[in-house]
Structure 1
Amino acid sequence: MPSPLPAAVLFDRDGTLVVDVPYNGDPDRVRPMPGAVEAVAAVRAAGVPVGVVSNQSGIARGIVTRAQVDAVNARVDALFGGFATWQICPHGPADGCACRKPAPGMVRWAAEALGVAPEAVVVIGDIGADVGAAHAAGATAVLVPTPVTRQEEVWAAQAVAPDLQAAVRMALAGEAA
């Protein structure tokens, strides 16, 4: 019987792994979401690679620099023990790129970087764009609603978890959709 384990788990950054500080360019403002460090550790303990896929339109908007985003990501890496891949979309909503969630680019590129098929990946995030990117790439998704998640995004999601640790349990048990 094949293992239900995903080949990789990709996390959204802001609002999923860390408290969302809009357009954060300051590593000192990075705070893990409740239970997030433990949730990522559980994925690693199962032998599954972890990565991050994150829209960072503040770069295109001129609010933060790529160097500032990289510094924040380095802080996230330090707090969580490092991620096997980071995929960042630096574009704005109107740029028409292939990477900005809900487009599939970052999920596909993360899968490629990890040497796995997108269909074997689970994406965990807090908004519909995260779920949309997963599905557009052929991956599965688990939505973890926060106060910014719109109710219609919750209704549309096939797999919803009350918190990140529950989302990881679903992903590792093959219950993501």
Structure 2
Amino acid sequence: MPRDDRSTRSTARLDVPRDWRRTFLARPAYDADAFGRLSERIARFLGTGQFLVYMTATILFWVGWNIFAPESVRFDQYPFIFLTLALSLQASYAAPLILLAQNRQEARDRVQYERDRDVDARSRADMEFLAREVASLRMAVGEVATRDFLRSELKSLLAELDRDRDNDRV
């Protein structure tokens, strides 16, 4: 009997991945979205004027130090190979981080677009409902007797009663 219970439990949960087997060391918790958030912050910073000022100051300091400092403390001679390597490394990491941030923004935009489309569909349905209600109210008001119509009818009835009374007197 317990064997059947286990088999039904596992077949009922085929859409859920099995838990990892227990180990002696605790598995570190991993936030899958943390790297994406970090890449967005970096990409946001790379697109600012502050980054351009910092990068320009760093490069000017690097070049100035390696040209005007005493030769014993220079770390990158004239063709600035190390500077080129550092800038290439920075660019090789910046491009994928920016692309990752753009992909995450595109996913957020897609979700927002779906929400906007749902809201638009609901608004459109509400407007159509209200238009039908207004049309039915207009039709109902057209069939309702107005105050002026009732006054005129009552006046004509009163005049008819007055005539009948006058005819009865004669």
TM over 0.5: no
TM normalised by structure 2 equals 0.17
- Bigger radius of gyration, 1 or 2? 2
Select the structure that is richer in strand.
1
Higher relative contact order (CA 8 A, sep 6+): 1
Select the structure that is richer in helix.
2
